[in-house]
Amino acid sequence: MPSAPPSGKKINMMANKTLLSKFFIAAVALVAAAIALPAAAQVGLPVVNMTDDGSGGTKYSLTLQLLALMSVLTLLPSLLLMMTSFVRIIIVFSLLRQALGTAQTPPNQVLVGLALFLTLFIMAPVLSSVYDDAITPYFEEQISFETAMVAAEAPIRTFMLNQTRESDIGMFLEIAGNTEVTEPADVPFLTLVPAFITSELKSAFSIGFLIYIPFVVIDLVVASVLMSMGMMMLSPMMISMPFKLMLFVLVDGWTLIMGSLTASFALS
């Protein structure tokens, strides 16, 4: 007995998910092109179109390409947070600063800058694959736009799948009511993104917990010594901070943190 055709509501939802997924990939592809494309090869977009209105006047209008580019630029922070290693890195840096007890040192601008450049370093192979497999062939008119989107999605999907826990993917598939997924390649892109973010949050807090342990031990030792000396009114945080900084410098903490964060990402 033939199965009933899908309802119009279900077809619309599937179409919307497909359009949103293509939009995400197209935005990432444009970002990769802006990073990797040499300046000499960039082609300028006409900013304003000027047309004669027939009465001797001139009408000015923005091009659709410029409007699309401006829309993509507004989504750059979201793309950076959702589909790259930025989330894990910036959370670990923030927890490290709290563990050291240095308040606003390093300042937020420094932490964000470090996280940004470390993200570019980690994501360089992925962006290079997007540029070589999708951007360049499309600009040279060797493949169509749809083929370029599929080629651009592959390295991004592979990166996110390598960092995402199966339990997180299963949870979002269950919430979405999708029981047809049997392989990682079948996971919808709009399901993979929130699962990836959830896994990144778990990984970041796990690393932050391990970073906190030695500094908590120093706080406990300092607090015990002050209590035994009867200095209950003296803040243990003020006394323990120099010892925390000394420990962090002696073990070359920044090198350990940077190296461990980079190695924590599965890029193969």
* Residues 102, 246 contacting (CB under 8 angstroms): no
Mean pLDDT, rounded, for 197-202: 91
Who wins on pLDDT, 166 or 30? 166
* Residues 98, 119 contacting (CB under 8 angstroms): no
- As a whole number, the mean pLDDT across the chain is 76
pLDDT value of residue 91: 92
Closest by CA position to 81, among listed 193, 161, 206: 193
SS3 255: helix
Angle between helices 8-36 and 108-130 (to 10 degrees): 100
| Confidence band, pLDDT 50/70/90 cuts, at residue 66 | low
- The letter for the amino acid at 121 is F
pLDDT digits (tens, 9 = 90+) for 203-247: 999 999 999 898 888 888 888 888 887 777 777 777 888 888 888
Question: Is residue 54 pLDDT above 70, yes or no?
Answer: no
